[in-house]
Amino acid sequence: MEFFELSKLPVNLWRNGAGESREICCFPPDTGNFNWRASIASLASSGEFASFDDVDRAITLLEGGEVLLDGVGNSGHVLKRHQPFFFPGDKRVYAELTQGMMSMNFNLITQRARCKARTRVADRTFSTLGTRGGIAYVLSGEWQFGDKLLRPDQGAWWSDGLHTVRLLQNTGTLLYSEITYL
């Protein structure tokens, strides 16, 4: 299991100037031919998302104003805080900051022919299903991963195995994705 903290992730500015991203992990690591990849991105202004062929995306608004995604359905979709949304990564999607304020989003990209992701928000202790990988990001509360204590803006990712994730307080939320290979 690998651990990360938002404030320590390297920042990459987008070429179009509309935002920045912080890559959390890419699996397998250090390859351009990934099976799945996770990052946190900040949108500073409205603009078109990068398109990726043959991938599926899961995006979750972490902070900031709601974002209208145009091009993902007949009437678009409004990203609301802590509500994961899935869409094909090869669609042309325009993101509009509806409240005029920056948004920060958790992004998970999976190669459609190789794997799929299941993303949810957990609010209690649970065990992973032993899939081929996963990632968790603390939204609130304190969570224990093995012998490691994680607080908001911290997380963990793994490539396989069963793991128990314990909520250490009465309330807390955790963004959580499991990766299943096809």
* pLDDT tens for each residue of 87-115: 999 988 899 998 878 999 999 999 999 99
151 and 104 belong to one structural domain: no
126 and 141 belong to one structural domain: yes
Indicate which CATH number applies to the domain containing 136.
Answer: 2.60.120.10
120 and 88 belong to one structural domain: no
Range of the domain at 150: 114-179
| Domain end residue (candidates: 84, 109, 134) | 109
37 and 118 belong to one structural domain: no
Stated pTM of the model? 0.93
23 and 76 belong to one structural domain: yes
* pLDDT tens for each residue of 44-70: 988 888 888 999 999 999 999 999 999
87-121 burial: b if 16+ Cβ within 10 Å, else e: bebeeebebbbeeeeebbbbbbbbbbebbbbebee
Structural domains counted in the chain? 2
